[in-house]
Structure 1
């Protein structure tokens, strides 16, 4: 699989032209495992109809700021006459089920859905399939007869988090070093894969002394971290595993309240506040999963399915979902970002600019990190 930054310059140029206003100057990009080029040229250009895009929540910054505009721009590029019907579930699986039904009633030809709950969405996928509507699962793998899936190699994400935590511990890493593990929501199959990769990477090398779900919520993660500190004793903890940056924010607050500093803290998603914590030294690293190639791949799959083309040129592997369906898949490559490579990853890719990162609060830390 190609390195995620190989086509950063090209991707950034495309996004800066198409999405300058929509993305407010933030044009994150990276390489996909596929080229995401039109597979059927004329048929895509002349195609008509509508594609539904359903995203799970709007608490995380990525969906409204990046995934939605990138997806819409790629569909526009590939099939100018095709419209995108958009809905955000706002964190509710029930709302998302209603949104799928609305899309079915509106006559969309393809539904691209990032399921709020991968199991509960099955009934909606079945309903769409019964009407002949193709379904692309985005970022999380839905249950049911899904036609295609795009995400990142989630086990690899967890492995990077595990090896990154060991590296951050340095000489303090040992089989007796007690780690607090805060995982994602149990309803999210990605969370299970992150956990599997992480635990596989640290098995026999670190002691996972406390393990709980933070439900992808910073407040819940903070509560779990505080419970762990009270249970284990602050001085007995060597580091914290957070499955993503949202929860890392809550955990960092709990660490600060407990007087803990200098301990490793992991993350994922390369959110702006996480990059700032990395610069400031209160978070060790994050995992960067570039949004543009994922959105581009989903858009290409959707247009291919709309025009009756195969997704094989993009979906070069398969994944089996929770209901046993074998789904063609495109799995992209994640990248670990720490203080040493912020400039060559998220800044070079245009995801975040140095002025966005280096606000007055972080000016001194940025200077020390060479971000000027």
Structure 2
């Protein structure tokens, strides 16, 4: 009887071990892609509100990685604008054993300890679009101060003769947790200061609802007819701002950034004066190239041919691309020419006449 009991225990343990090993070997293919763990790359993006991340950044980065490294796997997650969630996602990537981590930080300062933890485990971190603090290996983005300069100049151009020191404008900046927001703000101030009166300035936290509330407050404070222009740091917030302006019965020049489809349509309709087009493919391609080079132990500085200084004082090898200001006059030569959107996507029934008037057929 004792021998039979021992055989039963051993047999049960063996089955349990086999099931445990099977469970451990199972992967979530929707996130990890399965495959070669020694060639695994993590991709963490910051939010789901900004349309670019799901529509452009993720698919472009994943496609370029696959093109450069057929047996590479990509593990993906999104922080949904929650910095604590993103910190947990970094820990998950470490546990998965990724070799390189592409990180677009929701909170560039708060994520520093997570970056350090990843590097301590031998993971190379590539800061994407936003320069995370900590020992990152490389950074890929646009020259964000110049982006702010483009926005400021576009606002002055749209204001025309009203761009005088006495004219009051409203300035809605991005989230202070995003280092890019500070760069956009600095660049815009370089252009606007002394040329117009920045009568109301607040952060919209990259949220259309918050931006709407801030501009509604500005209208109450300044008076609708006294607002000569509105600086919005991105298109998502510009959507909320345009709604507030319409509600107040005014339509001053309004900037944006990211060349979102809705923003391009607003520009055609005349409820937004400009956006900034930062072509996603060059940014995504450069990031994928650097990630694969780091994975394979190759020199990546032919791609990261510049330098950026992080908030933690480090000089980081960087690829900084040039952006383009977009108005009604050059939609055809920018976002349409680059096939970011088709004419059919832009020129829906609601915007058909506006497209025709702008020469977009």
Which residue does 2:121 correspond to in 1?
131
Matched, 1:153 2:143: yes
Which residue does 1:91 correspond to in 2?
81
User: CA separation in 1, counterparts of 2:149 and 2:272?
Assistant: 18
Query: Which residue, 312, 325, 338 being the options, matches 1:336?
Result: 325
User: CA separation in 2, counterparts of 1:163 and 1:65?
Assistant: 28
After superposition, the CA RMSD in angstroms is: 1.1
Matched, 1:249 2:259: no
Matched, 1:271 2:260: yes
Matched, 1:304 2:279: no
Work out whether residues 214 and 247 of structure 1, in 8 Å CA contact, stay in contact via their aligned partners in 2: yes
User: CA separation in 2, counterparts of 1:333 and 1:252?
Assistant: 27
Query: Which residue, 319, 334, 352 being the options, matches 1:363?
Result: 352
Q: Which protein has the larger Cα radius of gyration, Structure 1 or Structure 2?
A: 2
Structure (1/2) with the larger helix percentage: 2
1:203, distance to aligned residue in structure 2 (A): 1.6
Query: Which residue, 257, 276, 301 being the options, matches 1:287?
Result: 276
Which residue does 1:50 correspond to in 2?
40
1:48, distance to aligned residue in structure 2 (A): 5.0
Matched, 1:231 2:215: no
Work out whether residues 55 and 114 of structure 1, in 8 Å CA contact, stay in contact via their aligned partners in 2: yes
Count residues in correspondence: 326
Where does the alignment leave 5 or more consecutive residues of structure 2 unmatched? 1-35
Any residues of structure 2 matched to 1:95-244 within 5 Å, and which? 95-244=85-234
Matched, 1:353 2:361: no
User: CA separation in 1, counterparts of 2:164 and 2:49?
Assistant: 36
Matched, 1:73 2:63: yes
- Partner-residue secondary structure (3-state), 2:288: helix
Query: Which residue, 292, 300, 312 being the options, matches 1:323?
Result: 312
User: CA separation in 2, counterparts of 1:54 and 1:323?
Assistant: 21
1:47, distance to aligned residue in structure 2 (A): 11
Deviations 1:64-115 (A, max 9, x none): 1111110011111111111111111111111111111111111110000000
Work out whether residues 38 and 99 of structure 2, in 8 Å CA contact, stay in contact via their aligned partners in 1: no
User: CA separation in 2, counterparts of 1:167 and 1:210?
Assistant: 20
- Partner-residue secondary structure (3-state), 1:128: helix
1:235, distance to aligned residue in structure 2 (A): 1.1
User: CA separation in 1, counterparts of 2:275 and 2:229?
Assistant: 15
Deviations 1:261-307 (A, max 9, x none): 2x100000000000000000000010000111111011001011111
Work out whether residues 204 and 210 of structure 2, in 8 Å CA contact, stay in contact via their aligned partners in 1: yes
Where does the alignment leave 5 or more consecutive residues of structure 1 unmatched? 1-45
User: CA separation in 2, counterparts of 1:190 and 1:176?
Assistant: 29
Work out whether residues 47 and 307 of structure 1, in 8 Å CA contact, stay in contact via their aligned partners in 2: no
User: CA separation in 2, counterparts of 1:47 and 1:226?
Assistant: 51
Work out whether residues 143 and 322 of structure 2, in 8 Å CA contact, stay in contact via their aligned partners in 1: yes
User: CA separation in 1, counterparts of 2:108 and 2:229?
Assistant: 31
* TM-score between both structures, scaled by the size of structure 2: 0.89
Which residue does 2:18 correspond to in 1?
none
Work out whether residues 38 and 98 of structure 2, in 8 Å CA contact, stay in contact via their aligned partners in 1: no
- Partner-residue secondary structure (3-state), 2:50: coil
User: CA separation in 1, counterparts of 2:43 and 2:37?
Assistant: 18
1:325, distance to aligned residue in structure 2 (A): 1.7
1:204, distance to aligned residue in structure 2 (A): 1.2
| Structure ranking higher on relative contact order (CA contacts 8 Å, 6+ apart) | 1
Work out whether residues 47 and 81 of structure 1, in 8 Å CA contact, stay in contact via their aligned partners in 2: no
